[in-house]
Every structure is written in structure tokens, then in C-alpha cells.
Amino acid sequence: MRLPRVITVCLAGAAVLLPLAACSSDEPAAGQAPQAAATETPSSPEPEEVKAHPFTGMPYETLKPVLAVKIENTAAGKPQLGLKSADIVYVEQVEAGLTRLMAIFSSKLPPKVGPVRSARISDLHIAPQFGKPAFSYSGAQTKMLPFIAEASLYDVGDTRNPGAYFRQPGRFAPYNLFANTKQLLAKAPRASKAKDVGFTFGDAPAEGGVERKSYTVKWPAARLTFAWSQAKEQWLIWQDGKKNMAAEGGQLGAPTIVIQYTKTERSQFHDKNDSYTPLVHTTGKGSAIVLRDGKAFKARWERESEESGTTFTTESGEPMNFAPGQVWVALASRKPVIP
């Protein structure tokens, strides 16, 4: 049973006892009946419930629509803009063993985001667990367009919503396409609001964690290293040996990193160089490593269907709690191959 995502804060109320009037005699005054000493029972304060966001475990007031954006993740497209505001960031393998990102926004919405890149078939299998989110991307293979049309998402790509996109000066195509997030969501007024996607947040397991200064995940042509910073209470991110910097300033990082080991195989799609597009299977079950609080925890993941969320448990079957804040999910393979 997963732990409820409710943080209870008790407001300590001090009970004030009113002083009794002092008398010079223990006897009641003439004509007055004796009265019992007044007592006041301290009232028990009602706990104040602070709701925890299903994507981050952080307090929130209202749940907002979900926006998923496909973002470039090679040196040519860096630094990326807007990732610091994402609730969840998925790292997916694409052609030639490289990676791209799918950033999930809901609790925070940056004004602009990018570079926005093209969609992949794996995106369409990740999206349904968020209901029907708005999906921002910059085109797709012609034979994949029918799949996008049938997918559980609202298409706010650059073809359907060109007014939301712009070319960023100082960058070169195709790595200069950015988007205004409010305009993206304006074209998807019925986009699903954030809901339970299987994550649990709270204290780390008492046992099972191994202290780690860093952890590296490899794909055929990309490498991400997560290094723990006690000062920032985050795993700072390096890619291919270089700091992963944000366009807003500072190094990208998150309090929780999930390395989710999945089955990856060839899809029916390929690029102009005949490099096959990987299909990352995010339903089913498998193993994972969860990085939090300077430790690595072995875990298991399970997702019964595309409409359901992904749950993470410890090796003993207890909920694998994440640290509150942004979550990066690196979809990797134990033996990565170029499809």
C-alpha cells in the first residue's frame, strides 16, 4: 500500500488559563452560594493538512494542467531553457544512441522553454499516465503522425500551434526553436491536470542505501553523471564529462534521480540515415536505482498499463519514497545497443 501524499502539520496552540480572583477568606460572601473552582480544558488543535503535489511531493494550492515538452539533449542544443521549472524530466534514447528529454511541467510554468525538438514513438507511450496532457514538439516523421493523432494527448506542436513558437537569436537551426508555454496551454484548455502517477514522497528507507558520491548512466553515444552536492541537497548533472548548465544560470540538478532499466528495441521508424528509432518499453516491471540524500537504493518498478502510473518499491516491497522536489527519470538499459 502506498503512503498517502499528505503532509500533516500540527499547529501548537497554547491554552491560556484565566487567573481566578483572589479572596481574603475561604468562606463565601453572605447571600452567595459556594461556587466550584473554574477550570478550563485546553482545546486540541485540529491538524492542518498540507497537500503534497503528486509529481514533486511539494505543497500546492491547486492542481494545474500538464504540459509535456520534447527538448534537445546534445551539446549543439545547450544550454536548455526551462528545465529548472520542470516537475519531472525523462531521459530517452533516440537514434544513433543519443538521448532527448521529455520535460513535464505542471506546478511551475517557465515563460519559455527549448530547444523544442521532434517527437518519438516512446513519447506516446509515456504520456498516457498523465491523462491527456498538452504535448509540445517540433514535427515528426510523416508515418508517425497518425499515431500522434490517436495518442492520449493534445497536440500543440509547431505545425498545429505555430504562433506559440519562435526562433531564438544567437542559436542555429534546428536548435533555435523555442516556445511560449502559456500560448501552448492556451491551445489545450482541456489538458488533464496533475494527478497520481505512482510516485511516493517522504523519508528514505532506513536500510538498503549505499553511500555514493556519484553515479554514471550510459547510452551508446551519451553519458550522464549525477554527483551528490550536500550543500545544494541535489544530484548535480554532468553530460559527457561537462557540467549540464541551465540557460537561466547554474548547473542542472535534482534531489531525486531514478535510473529505470527498461527493455529497448527497434521500432518501425527510422531517420533519414536509416538509423532505427528505439522503442523504450515503460510498461511492465523491472529494476531501478533511486538516488537520493547521497545514497543509491536498489528498487523495483511496475506499470501495469499505459494509463496507470509507475510505482517504485524497495527490494522488500515497501514504497520507495522520493525526496520532495524535481525528479529525473533516466530510461536506460542494462546492455544498451544501437537499434
Interatomic CA distance for residues 34 and 17, integer angstroms:
21
Reported as type and span, the H/E element at residue 121 is: helix 121-126
Contacts of 179 (CB under 8 A, 6+ apart): 69, 112, 113, 114, 116, 136, 158, 164, 165, 166
Report the share of the chain in percent with pLDDT over 70.
Answer: 84
Based on C-alpha coordinates, what's the Rg of the chain? 26
Per the CB < 8 A criterion, the answer to whether 87 and 56 are in contact is yes
Encode burial over 68-101: b for 16+ CB neighbours within 10 A, e otherwise: bbbbbbbeebbbbbbbbbbbbbbbbbbbbbbbbb
Encode burial over 168-196: b for 16+ CB neighbours within 10 A, e otherwise: eeeeeebbbbbbbbeebbebbeebbebee
In this predicted structure, the answer to whether residue 241 has a pLDDT above a threshold of 50 is yes
Mean pLDDT of the chain: 87
pLDDT tens digit sequence for 298-317? 999 999 999 999 999 999 89
Measured between its terminal Cα atoms, the distance across the chain in Å is 38
Per the CB < 8 A criterion, the answer to whether 87 and 253 are in contact is no
Contacts of 212 (CB under 8 A, 6+ apart): 228, 291, 294, 295, 296
Interatomic CA distance for residues 146 and 243, integer angstroms:
38
- CA–centroid distance for 180 within its chain: 20
Per the CB < 8 A criterion, the answer to whether 3 and 200 are in contact is yes
What SS3 class is residue 39?
Answer: coil
Record the pTM. 0.85
pLDDT tens digit sequence for 181-230? 999 999 999 999 999 999 999 999 988 899 999 999 999 999 999 999 99
Give the residue carrying C-alpha cell 540557460.
Answer: 247
Residue 286 cell numbers, joined:
523491472
pLDDT tens digit sequence for 44-91? 566 566 789 999 999 999 999 999 999 999 999 999 999 999 999 999
**Per-residue pLDDT, 14:** 37
- The DSSP output letter for 319 is B
Interatomic CA distance for residues 256 and 327, integer angstroms:
5
